[in-house]
Structure formats: C-alpha cells, structure tokens
Amino acid sequence: MSFCHLHVHSNFTFGDGASHIDDLILEAKRRRMTSLAITDKDGLYGAIRFYEAAKKEGIKPIIGVELKLSSGYHLILIAKNKRGYSNLCRLISKMHLSSDDEPILDINILEKYSKDLFALSGPKGELAACILLGRPRLAKKRIGKYLDIFGKDRFLIELQNHLLPQDRVLNEALFDLACELGLLVVATNDVHYAKKKDYHLHQALVKASQIVHHRTIRSTSNQEYYLKTPLQMARLFTRYPAAIISSSLVAEECNLKLDLGKILSPSFSLPKGEKADEYLLKECLKSFPQKYPHRDRRVSSNALREIEVIRRKGFSSYFLLVKDIVAFAKNKGIRCSARGSASGSLVVYLLGISDIDPIKHNLLFERFLNPERLDLPDIDLDFDSRRRDEVIEYVLKKYSGKAALVATVPTFRARGAIREMARSFGLSYEKIKSLTDTLPYFGADKIRPALSSLPDLRESERMDKRDVELIDISEGVNGFPRHLSSHLGGVVISNEPISDVVPLQKSAKGFSLAQYDKDDLERLGLIKTDLLSLRMLGAVSEAVEHIRATGQELDLEKIPFDDEKVYELLRSTKTVGCFQLESPGMRQLLGKLQPTNFSDIIANISLFRPGPMQADMIAPFLKRRHGKEKVRFLHPTLEPILKETYGVIIFHEQVLRIAQRLAGFSLGQADLLRRSMTQKINQEEKEKLRKDFISGCQKKGVDKKIAEKVFEQLTSFGAFGFCKAHAASFAKIAYQSAYLKVHYPKEFFLGILNNQPGLYPPRVILNEARRYGIKALAPDINESEGKFSLEDGAIRIGLSSVKGVGPSSLEEILRQRRKKKFKSLEDFCPRVRINKALLENLILSGCFNSLNGKGEDQPSEKKVALEMELLGLNLNSHPLLIFRKTLGRIKRVKSAGLSKLAEGETVNVAGITTILHTPPAKSGQRVIFLTLEDEEGLIDVTIFPSAQERCARDIFEADLLLIEGYVQKHGPAASLIANKAFDLGKMLTKNTEKSLRATTT
C-alpha cells in the first residue's frame, strides 16, 4: 500500500521533535516508503540536509513548514517545486523579519506568495478549531479565504487519528465539510519521533524546553505521534480510504529539484564600463610596484596564474567584494587581518586583503583554491572586536536584500544534555551542578562510559531508577539541535534576492540571519565570508590608540620582526597576554623550542595543535632542532622543502610540494592527495593514490622503496599537518602583541584588561602587570572610567569592575560626574539613585577613599578578601596572603623558584586554580591540565589518570590546591607533573574557608 507522511517534525522543530533527520529517513526506508515530507515549525532549518540525505537513501524528499497565522491558528505548507520552495523561503523570511516577537504570518502575505504550494488545514488549524467549538457553519465560512488563495486543488482538509476522544468526531465533521465543498482530504500523523519507543524522550525534551527556554509547547497526549507504516495508517482511516490515497497523490505532484552545487557568485558593483575579470587584474597591478618593486618575473607569473584560475571559476566579483569590505574597514580605522589558507594567495595579498606576503613565506595558492576542484573560496577576516559590527552593518546595508548572516546550530553534548534534561526531572540546581561540573567536554553518547571510568564520577554509578532514566534521556538527545544561533561572523551575499534562496530570521542583534548553517549554504552554492570579531585586535588597537595619545608614532605594520627583546620574551615563556602564545602548553613549547625568528613562531603555532601532537611530531622536531638527532632526508628533492622544519612534515603546503616535485603531481592533484589523507576513504581508494604517487615518483627517477617510504611519511605526518598560511597570519598578530608587551607594557596590559582576549581573568593580568612594575590603583568615584584606564603610569580600576555596577548605574554615575565631580558621599547619594547594596559595594571597594580619607585601617587579610569579593581583583597583596599561617607550615616552592630546580625533583606547590581544562588526549584517557597562581606567578600542572584516582574530586571542587609532584623542564621554564593534590580549604578554619570563597567569587 502506498502512503506518504506529509506532516513530520524532526529535531529541528526545536524542543518538540525527538528524532534526527537521518533516523526518520531510515525508518521510512525500513517501512518501504518511497517519499517523506519534513514540516518543521517556523522554518526550513533542516531542509537541505534532509533533501540530500533522503536522495541518498532513495527517498523522495518533500519540503514543507508549519507556520502560525495572524489568526493564531497553524497551517502546513508544502512546496511542489522550485518556485514553491522559493515562496516558502519568502514567506518564512517575511514572517520572521517583520516582528521582534513570536513569528506570525499575515494572511495577506500568504496570498502574495502562495503559488506552487500545497496547504494542509492542520490539527491546530482554524477549521478544526471551529468544529471543536461546535461552529461548523463558521468553519465553512472561514474556508473560503483559503480557497481564494490556494484553490480547490491545493488546499487539502487534513485528517488525523491519534486515538484521542475528539479525533473521530472531528474527522467526521471535516470529511463532511470536504465532501460538501468538493475538497480533497488527506490523512496525516503529526509525527514528532521516528519510533513509538521515543515517546518518553519526546516528553522529557518538551518539558525541558518549557522550563529552560520558556517555549509554549504542548506535549503529545499519548504514544501515537510516531512514523507509522502505511498499513497502520490505512487501518486508522478505514472509513476514509481516499485520505490515504491523497497522501500519495500529493507526493507525486511534489517534484522539488534544488540546484545543489551550482555556485551563486555574488555580484559586485563595478565602475561604469568595467568587467569584473579585467577590473580584478587592474586592482592587482595597482599595488604591484609598491609590494614588489623589483618586478620579479616569477611573482608576475604566479599572479597571472591565480587570476586566470579565479576568472575561470567565476570568482572575480567575490574577490573584489572582499577587497571592498577590507577597504571600508581600513578607511574607518578598523584594524583587520586575514586568516586561514587565503593568506597563501598572491591576489589576496595584492588586493590588500592580507598583509602576509605568500612569496616571502613560501605559501601556496592551491592550498586555498584548488584549480582542479569545484571549491568555493573561503576568505576569513578578523576585525577589531569593538568595531566588527560596523563592518557587518556596512555589508548588510550595501548589499541589502542580498546578504545575510550565516547560522550555526548548537547541539546537545554531555554537559548540556544532562543540565537541560535534569530540569525536566525536577532535579535541584546543586544536584545538576554536581553531575555536570566534572564531566569532560564530549558527546552525550559517552556519558555512561565516563561514569564508570572517571574516578570522580564513579560514585554516580550508585544510581536510582530516576538517575538511570536521566542518563538514558540525556544520551538520547545527543547531537540534537538546541536552537538557531549566529555563526561567529559568517556572511553570505547572493547575486539575487537572498530570501528567494534561503529562509531568513532575525539574529539577536537584529541582523538578517539565514536559517541554514555554513555547510547547507555551501551546498546551495552561496559563498561564505567570515567577518570575525577578534578580541586581540581590539586589545592591540586600544593599546596603539593610547600610545599615539602620548604623541608617539607607532605603526605595527612597520615594526621590525627581528627584535631580539621580543624573542627573549618568547624564550622566557613569560607570554601571558600574548596572542596564541599564552596557554600552558604553548608556553611550554616556547621554552623547548627557543624561537629566534619569525619562522620559529609560525612553527610553534603550527606544532601546538591536536593533529601534530597526536602524530608525535613535536619530539622529532625539537630533537633535530637542538642537534640531538640528525636531520635526514629520504631523497635530495625533499631537502629544500623540509629543511625549515628539520625533515618533519608540519605544513600542508609541504605535502603539496612533495607530491609536486617528487611524484610530478600538479599542485591541484597534490591538494587532492592532501585532502584524501585528512578524510576517511576506503582501502581501495587509498591504494590507488599510493600507486599513483609511487608511479609518479618512478617516472621522475625515484627508487620505488624510497617512494614508498615517502608516501608512508606523508600519510603518517601529512594527515596531521597544519596550514602554514593560517599559522603565518596568527604569528604576525602574536609577534605584534609580544612587541607591545616588551616596549609598551602599560598600554599593552590596559588593552588586554579592557578587551579580555585570552585565557586569563583580569586578576591574573593585573598581577602580571604588577611584575612589570605597573601599579594598580583602586577604583575612584571621581577618577575611574567605566573600564580600566591609565593614570600617571598606573592602571586605574574601572567602576564596572565593582560588584553590582551594571550599564545603567554606571551611565548614571558618569552622567552626574560630567556635570560636576562628587565632593563627598553626602553629595553623591542624592545625585545618584542606586540601591543600598550597590552603595555599600562602592564604599567598601574604596571608591570614596579619596573624598573621605583612607577610611578604616583593616587587617590586610580582610582587605584582600574584600577586594576579591567586590572587584574580583587583588590590588596590592595576593589572595594567598589570607592563608599565610597555614602555608607557612608547609614546605613549598613558589612559581619563580620552580625553574631553578632539577628535572624530576619532587616538590610541593600551592595556588589558586586559574585554568582547568581536559582536552582530548591521544590515549583517549582524560588528562587534566590546570594552572595555579601563587604570589610570584603561574604554575602549570599536568595530572595523568593514575594521579586522578587519588584526588580528582578535590581537583575539580577546590579553589585552592596544594599539589605534590615532580618537576618537568621546558628550556628555562618548568612545570609540574602531579602525584597528589589536596584541597587546602579543608585544612583551614571555618572562617578562613569563608574568606577563600570570597576570593574566588
């Protein structure tokens, strides 16, 4: 029997759909259905991936949506074809963009864009509501407006039977109405999950959505809302066999064909009489004399070759468009920088999009844009975080109606799944926190193995029935979409009205936001450009602004990149605050590598990545660099390619050059080889690549055994390499930030404090500044700005650092102060209306000390505790001062003395936990990396699984730790491998514990 489900919700009906798209498709295939619709609420969020997945499984995809009308009732709309799909996009866009509240569709708009759409009356539709209210005549009257819009052939009366008491009466009345008016009836099941057993998962999901996201979703009344077989549906509608047949008739008429893969290159507004290809060449030639004054023929040849590839692929307008965006930013004084493989393009450099010279750094265009693939170019741009939105506004305004932000779809992982599902079980905040705080960041499908393998979670194995159900439900929502969000900065620009191609809604900031993520947009042929907000560029820009305000001229594009003092800083590993170089692991690698030039920074950034670490590429690189292992090349051709990395394949660009020069591959073919190494391919394909490579090598006179060894090296190391162009872009910002730290520390730390670009909280940054001799000044009601500021060579704490000071109270204080400075507390109180608690915080944090004297002399322990509680900072004394009596009884080494000890020496250290993370490890086991801060600096600690057996719970729960371990050296720096860890709070008095909590609030 033929039947098609036309009313189906996937988990892209956020919080109300309890099955993945793939599961629905596979279930339909298992039940021998040949077509399936998806009709998620309010959008087409999963439509493109559904379309592709259904096609792959031989299922005809039918795309629709469930919308709420201005009348308050719902309607199902289904696209017959491409024009119907475009009308769905337009309707959804109009509905979302016209309101800041719940998306509701005006019926007049529906009339305008109704062509090639089927409409189903729906169980929550106007007709069903009239009948259930006992007003069949009104239902007949209301049906007229739908017939005016869709006609009799495209408006169908929807019958459903979920075995509810009202279903029989409702279906009879709807059927009679359809017969009277000569309309088709169609049977549907309001599908919310693929299998009947998923009912409990759906109930929990809905309840969590109601509690956490305050969604007005009604849970289903029973277990009948699943993907039933055609026979099951026929049995439910024995009185209405035509309704079953109609589902297949509708499916037959729906023949949507999306032109996936067809590139919709954006159009660029050119000067009169110009064509994009010729204009691109002109723009490149303009900057050529300035960037390459010696007229190198090789450079000219490379540029022309790139331009030809860009022209042939039809991307000239796109490159000009990106150039225009960068030019706008630079003209407005907004610092920007290209990142990613685009920095390997000479055209990108000549257009001024990137400041990295690809010739100088030996980069490759083909890593960015492969001439032999239908790749879309992907140029990522970083902007000063304080002003990035100005750039987005410019793009959306200039290309109004053709541009939109790219969406991203956050999904449930272990922590989020337990956190939200536990709310549906009524668990307390404390219980939820205890369950989630120590979970590593992994998929929800790994919760149960984690409970049995991680020592701090094993006690959770003693679970009651409710706990078991919670784990089952949490694992069940693994990978479910949680909501739609804006990509970090992705923008797409179409060559036609974008709402004809993509459904839109409003972003949190009010911008037009596509309902598709970057992968779906790419499938549609739209080219994404990332306009990213980089806080480090904000920090650097603010520092430069303050330097220039003193009358000094500084252009970071013209600073020397061989400044020995900068490299001394890097070798010392004292790089807190420096871009990409401040994490514990990165600092340790700097100590081992001991950089002396810019290429070393590129290598350092490239090596400290999951791939190189998993492939164990760091050890041979360091051994060869420091002469502890001889550098050998399997073939003389490899030496010029691998010399800079001591024979270790680190960069993607090296893989391409090896395949080109050793095996005779074109650079395009070489990039295909590189891609195959990073993707899962079957053994047959891998063997073909191996044979092609070895055959190519032999044709160039390379011994077969050598060729085989080189290929083995490529597959072992090349698969884990890093893009050198991306590393070079980041290395430049890293160097610039280090340069500022060395030569302009006050301005550097101010920029870091106000922009917070890195890992460390303001307290740690301010303590680092103090080690540079920079004094911290308490907040002052008359002198402090909202943020941190410079004052006579010191850093003044901003008023917004005071606990409880929000935007409105800050603005009121500053507004009154602009009129006249405050003379006293008595003068302040009647002028600024704030609550008593905030006033007390301002007083206790020292904001009025300059007006009323120094105030009461407090014991330094109490003063430090107050500073930490009210400011989250310590102005003069470190928080460990609070515990000096306890710590005085413990033999410990401070951070500054750790590097003076011998490798392997066992010591005790103590400090406040500043960073704690558990990144994926090569072994698959959990390794804990934490950073403590004591009075003299930072101490990096690694805790392997064996040590976790004894102390994991303390590590995750304690704010102050005493750790016993042995020293590990990294050049001039050192870290600790932990044997044991203790919660020092348990060793203190009750009053001191209270103070400790204050220091870590």
Residue partners of 645: CB distance under 8 A and separation at least 6: 603, 621, 651, 654
Up-side HSE of residue 471: CA atoms within 13 Å toward CB?
16
Output the DSSP codes for 811-844.
HHHHHHHHHS---SHHHHHHHS---HHHHHHHHH
- The pLDDT score that the predictor gives to residue 418 is 86
**Range in 621-635, 685-699, 830-844 with the lowest mean pLDDT:** 685-699
pLDDT at 438: 66
> What is the predicted pLDDT for the residue at 996?
44
Task: Please name the residue that has the structure tokens 């120590």.
Answer: 438
Residue 995: band (very low, low, confident or very high) from pLDDT cuts 50, 70, 90: very low
Query: Which residue is it, tokens 């929800």?
Result: 444
Separation between Cα atoms, residue 7 and residue 18, nearest integer Å: 14
Distance (Å) of CA 366 to CA 20, 301, 345, 350, 666:
37, 15, 8, 17, 10
Residue 213 pLDDT: 76
CA dist., res. 383 & res. 326, Å (int): 9
**Residue 954 pLDDT exceeds 70:** yes
174 residue type, one letter: L
On whether the CB atoms of residues 415 and 443 are closer than 8 A, the answer is: no
Q: Are 264 and 402 in contact (CB under 8 A)?
A: no
Say which amino acid occupies 476. Answer: G
Which amino acid is it at 30?
R
**Cα–chain center distance at 370:** 26
* Residue 241: predicted pLDDT: 96
Q: Which SS3 state, helix, strand or coil, does residue 64 take? A: strand
Range name among 545-559, 677-691, 771-785, 893-907 with the lowest pLDDT average: 677-691
How large a percentage of the chain has pLDDT more than 90? 74
* Nearby residues of 182 by Cβ (< 8 Å), 6 or more positions away: 152
| Start-to-end CA span in the chain (Å) | 65
3-state secondary structure of 133: coil
Contact 490, 481 (CB under 8 A): no
pTM: 0.90
Q: Considering only residues 859 and 781, tell me which one the structure prediction assigns the higher pLDDT.
A: 781
Q: Which residues contact 459 (CB under 8 A, 6 or more apart)?
A: none
Helices and strands: H and E segment counts in the chain:
43, 21
DSSP annotation string for 243-309 = HHHHHHHHHHH------TT---PPP--PPTT--HHHHHHHHHHHHHHHH-TT--HHHHHHHHHHHHH
Please check whether the two domains, 760-877 and 882-999, share a CATH topology: no
184 with 246: CB under 8 angstroms? yes
pLDDT tens-digit profile of 514-542? 999 999 999 999 999 999 999 999 999 99
Domain at 882-999: CATH code: 2.40.50.140
21-253 in CATH: which number?
3.20.20.140
Q: What does the pLDDT average to over 91-97?
A: 97
Instruction: List CB contacts of 336: < 8 A, sequence separation 6 or more.
Output: 326, 329, 330, 381, 382, 383, 384, 391, 537
Query: Per-residue pLDDT for 458 more than 70?
Result: no
Kindly report, residue by residue over 821-865, the tens digit of the pLDDT. 999 999 999 999 999 999 999 999 999 999 976 654 555 778 888
Q: Is the pLDDT of residue 793 over 90?
A: yes
For tokens 């950034």, the residue is 605
Residue among 30, 22, 85, 27 nearest 56 (CA) = 22
Query: Which residues partner with 660 through β-bridges?
Result: none
Edge-to-edge strands, sheet with 789-791: 776-777, 794-796, 789-791
Phi-psi region at 303: left, alpha or beta (left = phi > 0; alpha = psi -120 to 50): alpha
Q: Predicted confidence band at 956 (pLDDT cuts at 50, 70, 90)?
A: confident
Interhelix angle 276-291/316-331, nearest 10 degrees: 50
So where are the chain's domains? 21-253, 276-407+485-535, 414-476, 582-730, 760-877, 882-999
Residue 556, classed as helix, strand or coil, is coil
To 10 degrees, the CA torsion angle through 106, 108, 113, 118? 80
pLDDT digits (tens, 9 = 90+) for 230-276: 999 999 999 999 999 999 999 999 999 999 988 888 989 899 999 99
Percent of the chain residues past pLDDT 70, beyond the cut: 95
Closest of 408, 391, 393 to residue 512, by C-alpha: 393
Dihedral Cα 987, 989, 991, 993, nearest 10 deg:
10
Could you say which DSSP state residue 529 is in?
Answer: E
| Domain spanning 760-877, CATH class | mainly alpha
Q: Give 660's DSSP letter.
A: H
Residue 882: pLDDT band by 50, 70, 90 thresholds? confident
Amino acid, single-letter form, for residue 944: F
Cβ within 8 Å of residue 811, ≥6 positions away: none
Are 49 and 520 a contacting pair, CB within 8 Å? yes
Scan for tokens 């009524």, then name that residue: 426
pLDDT higher than 80, residue 717: no
304 CB burial (10 A radius; 0-12, 13-18, 19+): middle
Residues 6+ apart with CB under 8 A from 986: none
Is residue 54 pLDDT above 90, yes or no? yes
The rounded distance, in Å, linking the Cα atoms of 98 and 25 is: 34
Residues 320-328: what's their mean pLDDT? 97
Per the model's pLDDT, the better-predicted residue between 968 and 857 turns out to be 968
**Per-residue tokens: 373:** 């693939």
Question: Can you tell me the distance from the alpha carbon of 520 to that of 47, in angstroms, rounded to the nearest whole number?
Answer: 9
Distance in angstroms (rounded) separating the CA atoms of residues 277 and 502: 28
pLDDT at 471 > cutoff 90: no
pLDDT classification of 455: cutoffs 50, 70, 90: low
pLDDT of residue 863: 86
d(CA 301, CA 193) in angstroms, rounded, equals 58
Backbone angles phi, psi at 739, to 5 degrees: -60, -45
Q: How confident is the model at residue 286 (pLDDT cuts 50, 70, 90)?
A: very high
| Helix, strand, coil in percent for the chain, rounding step 5 | 50, 15, 35
Q: Tell me, what amino acid is at 358?
A: P
Task: Convert 200-225 into a string of H (helix), E (strand) and C (coil).
Answer: HHHHHHHHHHHHHCCCCCCCCCCCCC
Q: Is the pLDDT of residue 759 over 70?
A: yes
CA separation for the pair 724, 740 (Å, rounded): 24
> What average pLDDT does the segment 952-956 reach?
83
Rg (CA), the chain: 32
